Amino acid sequence: MAIANRRLAMLVAFALGAWPLAAAEPELTTLAGNWRGAVASTAGAGAVPDGDLAVSLTKEGAGFRLRWLGRAPGEAGDGWEPLEAVFDPAEQPGLFAVRAAPQGLLQRMFASPETGNPLNGETMLWARIEATQLVVYSLGIGNDGGYALDRYAWRPEGGELLARYSRRSDLAAPLVLEARLQKASGSP
């Protein structure tokens, strides 16, 4: 009886542990690859990238590696630059935390999920999958208490990716930028 209970507990634990990946798998498969496209519309105030928006997603372990052209993290950054981070499934279904171990210079921009805290000047980064949409967020708090909260959303539609980026801060009206990205070959 005790063994049967243990087996049941192991099955439940396995099912719970595998659920986030299983649920996220179709979306990650659809989003995988290199995508690029020009900005179609903007609203609010802030810098707009000169060229195309580019994003690249590759599955990595139970999570994924993301490279994208994004806003310079943190409250002081206003320009656009290539960003890169590896995300692993978090405890909550559909939620991904940035991998703690540094993977490179770009990865070190972001705080550890265990200890990271924007109140210590670190940029907090996380991602979630909701329905078919991947959303990545970053929050940075500057030395003067000003903040920058970025939200990047990608949603597949008709073989394209609909991208919607926004930055919220207390300096200006939120910048919102939309684009349609097409599958591209090569690296972003």
Partner 1 sequence: MTPRPSLSNCWQARIRWLVTALLMLGHLAVPDAARAASAALEPFFGSYVGSAEMVDLTTGETRQRDLDIVIQPFREAGFQVNWLNIMLVDGRRDVPGVKRWLQTVLFQPAEGRDLYVEVKASNPFRTREQAKPLRGDPIRWARIRDGVLHVYAFQLLPDGNYELQIYDRILTEQGLDIRFERIVDDQPVRRLTGRTVRAEAGGTDD
Q: Which residues of this chain interact with partner 1, rule CB under 8 A?
A: 92, 94-97, 111, 113-121, 124, 126-128, 130, 135, 137, 139, 141, 143-147, 149, 151, 166, 168, 170, 174
Please identify, using beta-carbon distances, which residue of 72 and 111 lies nearer to partner 1: 111
CA–CA dist 90, 19 (Å, integer): 11
Least distance (Å) between residue 152 CB and partner 1 = 11
Least distance (Å) between residue 109 CB and partner 1 = 15
CA–CA dist 167, 160 (Å, integer): 23
Least distance (Å) between residue 7 CB and partner 1 = 29
Please identify, using beta-carbon distances, which residue of 34 and 165 lies nearer to partner 1: 165
Please identify, using beta-carbon distances, which residue of 36 and 163 lies nearer to partner 1: 163
Which amino acid, one-letter code, is at 75? E
Q: Encoding tokens for residue 82? A: 């290539």
Other CB atoms within 10 A of residue 41 CB: 9
CA–CA dist 140, 34 (Å, integer): 27
Nearest CA to 75 out of 136, 126, 139 is that of 139
Q: Check if the beta carbon of residue 33 is closer than 8 Å to that of residue 44.
A: no
Please identify, using beta-carbon distances, which residue of 36 and 128 lies nearer to partner 1: 128
Least distance (Å) between residue 100 CB and partner 1 = 10
